[in-house]
Amino acid sequence: MAHLAYTPLSEIATTVQDLRATFSSGLTRPLSYRKEQLKGIHNFIAENEARIREAAFLDLHKPEQELTLGETAMIKQECVDAIKHLDQWAAPKKVSGGLVNTMNTLEVRKEPLGTVLVIGAWNYALNLLIVPALGAIAAGNTVLLKPSEVAPHTAALVTELLPRYVDQRCCRVVNGAAEETTELLTHRFDHIFYTGSGNVGRIIMTAAAKHLTPVTLELGGKSPTFVAKDANINVVARRVAGSKFFNCGQSCIAPDYLIVERGLENDLVKHMKAHLKEFYGSAQTSNSYARIVNRSHFNRLKRMLEETKGTIVIGGEMQEDDLYIAPTVVTNVQPGDSLLRDEIFGPILPILVVDSLKEGVDFVNERDQPLALYVFSEDKKVISSILDNTRSGSVVVNDMMIQFMATNLPFGGTGPSGFGNYHGQRSFDTFSHERSTIIKNLGMERANNLRYPPYSEKKLSW
> Which spans of this chain sit near ligand NAD (rule: CB under 6 A)?
119-123, 128, 146, 148-150, 177-178, 181-182, 195-197, 200, 203, 218-220, 252, 343, 345, 371, 413, 418
Min separation Cβ 397 and ligand NAD, Å:
20
Taking CB positions, which residue lies at the least distance from ligand NAD? Answer: 220
Do 177 and 149 form a contact (C-beta atoms < 8 A)? yes
- Annotation marks residue 248 as catalytic: no
Q: Output 288 or 414, the one with its CB closest to ligand NAD.
A: 414
Do 290 and 61 form a contact (C-beta atoms < 8 A)? yes
Min separation Cβ 166 and ligand NAD, Å:
20
DSSP letter, residue 281: S
Q: State the catalytic residue, choosing from 66, 218, 261, 265.
A: 218
Q: Output 109 or 367, the one with its CB closest to ligand NAD.
A: 367
| 142-146 sheet: strands from edge to edge | 171-173, 142-146, 115-119, 191-195, 215-218, 418-419
Min separation Cβ 152 and ligand NAD, Å:
11
Min separation Cβ 423 and ligand NAD, Å:
10
What is the C-alpha to C-alpha distance for residues 221 and 345, in angstroms, rounded to an integer? 9
Q: Output 202 or 277, the one with its CB closest to ligand NAD.
A: 202
| 257-261 sheet: strands from edge to edge | 311-314, 328-331, 348-354, 257-261, 224-227, 372-376, 394-397
Q: Output 28 or 225, the one with its CB closest to ligand NAD.
A: 225
Q: Output 112 or 420, the one with its CB closest to ligand NAD.
A: 420
Helix-, strand-, coil-residue percentages of the chain, each rounded to 5 = 45, 20, 35
How far is CA 56 from each of CA 2, 126, 151, 291, rounded to the nearest angstrom?
12, 9, 8, 11
Quick count: other Cβ atoms within 10 Å of Cβ 87? 10
Residue 91, classed as helix, strand or coil, is coil
Per-residue exposure over 168-189, b if at least 16 CB sit within 10 Å of its own CB, e if not: eebbbbbbbeeebbebbbebeb
Do 26 and 213 form a contact (C-beta atoms < 8 A)? no
| CA–CA–CA angle 58, 62, 68 (5° rounding) | 120
Q: What distance, in Å, lies between the first and last C-alpha atoms of the chain?
A: 77
What is the C-alpha to C-alpha distance for residues 124 and 147, in angstroms, rounded to an integer? 11
Q: Output 19 or 151, the one with its CB closest to ligand NAD.
A: 151
Min separation Cβ 50 and ligand NAD, Å:
25
Min separation Cβ 308 and ligand NAD, Å:
20
Q: Output 71 or 337, the one with its CB closest to ligand NAD.
A: 71
Q: Output 61 or 238, the one with its CB closest to ligand NAD.
A: 61
Q: State the catalytic residue, choosing from 252, 261, 265, 343.
A: 252
* CB neighbour class for 454 (10 Å; exposed up to 12, middle 13-18, buried from 19): exposed
**What are the φ and ψ backbone dihedral angles of 185, each rounded to 5 degrees?**
-75, -10
Min separation Cβ 116 and ligand NAD, Å:
15
Min separation Cβ 378 and ligand NAD, Å:
29
Active site residues: 218, 252
